[in-house]
Structure 1
Amino acid sequence: MTQEAKPNADKPRMSPFAYLSVLLVGAYLGALFVKSEVASWERVHAMFLLQEAYMYLIIGVAIAVAMASMLLIKRLGVRSVDGKPIKYEPKPYHAGVVVGGMLFGAGWAITGACPGPIYAQIGAGEWMALFTLAGALLGMLAYAALKPRLPH
């Protein structure tokens, strides 16, 4: 097979160490989500009913950490695991952002999980989260199928 026939032939491959690093960070985040109760349906439910500020404080801390991290990444010129520079490129605002945000929020309120905590819930033995994962995957496939007709 020639070089032209392989579309990803020049793309560097991730090392086993990089895969292991990603797996360990994911496992750490999953444990953190479970222990901090971010993956708890009851906590998410109380947040959406404005009964307690716990989740809002967690989200606020996460935003502050993300801001500080992005500042450090820019200043230090950090690269991704595959050697590419990490860049922040703002997404354009459009009507689809509002509709998508409302759908995302509704799914989060009903299931008690946004994408990251779904895996933490499954890992913690909350097998009903498999239905949440199936719904998230169906939503992703529906978006992919409808993308050409949606406002962007």
Structure 2
Amino acid sequence: MEPIVGLITGILWGYIFQRARILRFEKHIGLLTLTDLTVLKFLLSGVVVGTLGINLLATLGLAPYHLKPTFVAANFVGGVIYGLGWAILGYCPGTAPGAVGEGSLDGLFAVLGGLCGAAAFAHTYPFWKQTLYGIGGYGKVSFPQLLHLPPLLLAVLFAGLLLAFIFFLEKMGW
């Protein structure tokens, strides 16, 4: 059953990505040059839905919520690599396969680059675990724990701030 749900979900996401035009190279370059914030608004909308959805499901006991440990240095280096790849290729990992589906040859290079990067990381993982994972390892921490607030309340506040920011960007014509 899971493969069918995954296939249907993938088709729906692909359709939404295509209709929102965020599979286009120009849209990503527009984000990176801050001339077209369509991709940013789309991504933030996804964060709003995901934040509310997972916290609501977890609060109702319908889905488990598993925190992953925080490793500041590893997250920072991974973020830099991710951002550089996005800036160089003009696609993020979520939109590159969709761009390939639309016939984009440069999207194919983004997918292949991501797969090569994942393979390189997997083969060098012991090195990274010995070095970067030891710097800024805080264990399983979350903002609700740090702020002593209920997770769902914090999710609603965070989602509200993101929605306000999205509407601000729209009002400014960005």
- Give me the TM-score of the superposition, normalised by structure 2: 0.69
Which residue number corresponds to residue 148 of structure 1? 126
How far, CA to CA, are the matches of 1:24 and 1:54 in structure 2?
25
Which residue number corresponds to residue 159 of structure 2? none
Letter in 2 for 1:108: W
CA contact (8 A) 1:31 1:120 kept: no
CA-to-partner distance for each residue in 1:58-99, whole Å, 9 max, x for gaps? 1221111111111221123224xxxxxx32304313212111
Aligned pairs, number? 130
2:70 counterpart SS class: coil
Among 54, 63, 69, the alignment partner of 2:38 is: 54
Determine whether 1:27 maps to 2:11. Answer: yes
- Give me the TM-score of the superposition, normalised by structure 1: 0.78
CA contact (8 A) 1:43 1:55 kept: yes
Deviation at 1:46, TM superposition (A): 0.9
Deviation at 1:18, TM superposition (A): 2.4
Deviation at 1:45, TM superposition (A): 0.5
2:36 counterpart SS class: coil
Which residue number corresponds to residue 133 of structure 1? 111
Contiguous gaps of at least 5 residues in structure 2? 134-174
How far, CA to CA, are the matches of 1:75 and 1:139 in structure 2?
36
Deviation at 1:41, TM superposition (A): 1.0
CA-to-partner distance for each residue in 1:107-134, whole Å, 9 max, x for gaps? 1122222222122111112133222111
**Identical positions, percent:** 25
CA contact (8 A) 2:96 2:111 kept: yes
Q: Which has the higher contact order (CA 8 A, sep 6+)?
A: 2
Letter in 2 for 1:95: A
Determine whether 1:43 maps to 2:27. Answer: yes
How far, CA to CA, are the matches of 2:27 and 2:17 in structure 1?
12
Deviation at 1:23, TM superposition (A): 0.3
Contiguous gaps of at least 5 residues in structure 1? 1-16, 80-85
Q: Once superposed, what is the RMSD of the aligned Cα atoms?
A: 1.5
1:128 counterpart SS class: helix
Determine whether 1:105 maps to 2:83. Answer: yes
CA contact (8 A) 2:22 2:38 kept: no
Which residue number corresponds to residue 167 of structure 2? none
2:94 counterpart SS class: helix
Deviation at 1:32, TM superposition (A): 1.1
